[in-house]
Structure formats: structure tokens, C-alpha cells
Amino acid sequence: MIWVFDASPLIYLNMVGLDWIFEQLEGEKLIPSEVYKEVVTEGKVRGDADAILSEELVKKGVIKVAAVESDFKELLKSLNDELHEGELGVLAMAKDEGGVAVLDESIAREVGRIFKIEVHGTIFSIFLMVRMGKLGKIEAKAKMDLMINRGFRLGHEKYLEFLNLLDCVETKSG
């Protein structure tokens, strides 16, 4: 499995102490160079602590940074008014590599679905860890609440859906 991450999953999972999730995901983890610039380079200038955690994940080889040069990315550039460079890179890399695009912006996810790219968001990573038995349901809710308190956008209805789905997740341990 190849995972291609946009900025928000990196930022918010790191921000709430869930940086270990990246190491637990099986397969290769990639970010486009535009996402690295946004999260790490610009994040360090702003003084964002999550930028340092993201940089460490790259230094340890957990996440690899790659340039995205593809015809598909060029095709997507016509959507540049709707999508940021990082999102364009994530979608193009996921398409080219046959991977999963992990991003939270609803428009980017919809574009991914239209082009038959498997797309998931930050919350999927949390559910996956709960299902694997690596994160308890109570802790998962607490981490989601902390992410929301730190700026993660999740509407009231989606939050209730998250709670309902979390309650239904079956873990490997039982």
C-alpha cells in the first residue's frame, strides 16, 4: 500500500501526539515536495511544533518526500482555483503510484473520486488504528476533540457521525 499525505493529516495528527500513526501504517508513505514546503519549511518559520515532528518523520525515513511531475498533475492544474498545489500533488502522486490520497478538503476528495483515486481523510487514519487495536476508542475521541480544539474543521453532523462510527468499529482484539 502506498499512502500519499496532504498537509492537514500531517499537521493535525502530529499536533495531538498521533505522529506514531505514520509508522504503524503498512506500506510506503509519501508527501509531495509542495506539502513538505507548506508543513515543514513554512511551518518552522511560523514556529509550528508539528513542523518539527513532520521533519523528524522525514529524517527517520518514515515518510519520503518526492517531486511530482506528471501529465495527470498538468491536467489537474485546470482546477488550480479550487485546489492548492499540495492537493494537486497528492492527487497526482496517488494516481501515478496507484496509492491512497489522504487529504481532508472535500473538493479535493471529490476530484479524487471522479478520477478513480482512493481517497481518505485524517479521521480514517484514526479509525484504522482503533480497528487495529493500537488506539482505544476513548483516546480516539479525546484526540479528535483536541484536534477540533486546535482548528481541525469538522461540522456538528460529521462529528456525530464520527462518534457513531467510532462506537461501531470492531477492533482486532475484540
pLDDT, tens digit (0-9, with 9 covering 90-100), for 120-146: 999 999 999 999 999 999 999 999 999
pLDDT digits (tens, 9 = 90+) for 58-114: 999 999 999 987 777 777 777 667 788 899 999 999 999 999 999 999 999 999 999
Residues 6+ apart with CB under 8 A from 88: 34, 68, 73, 76, 77, 79, 80
Task: Specify the pTM.
Answer: 0.91
DSSP category for residue 123 = H
Domain of 171, in residue numbers: 1-174
Question: What pLDDT, on a 0 to 100 scale, did the predictor assign at position 29?
Answer: 98
Question: What pLDDT, on a 0 to 100 scale, did the predictor assign at position 174?
Answer: 47
- Asked whether residue 160 carries a pLDDT value surpassing 70, the answer given is yes
Count: domains in the chain: 1
- Tell me the C-alpha distance between 104 and 147, whole Å: 13
Average pLDDT along the chain: 92
At 115 the three-state DSSP class reads: coil
CB atoms within 10 A of CB 85: 17
Asked if residue 14 lies in contact with residue 53, where contact means CB atoms within 8 angstroms, the answer is yes
CB atoms within 10 A of CB 143: 20
Phi then psi for 91, rounded to 5 degrees?
-65, -45
- Asked whether residue 169 carries a pLDDT value surpassing 80, the answer given is yes
**Which residue is listed with cell 509542495?**
34
CATH number at residue 45: 3.40.50.1010
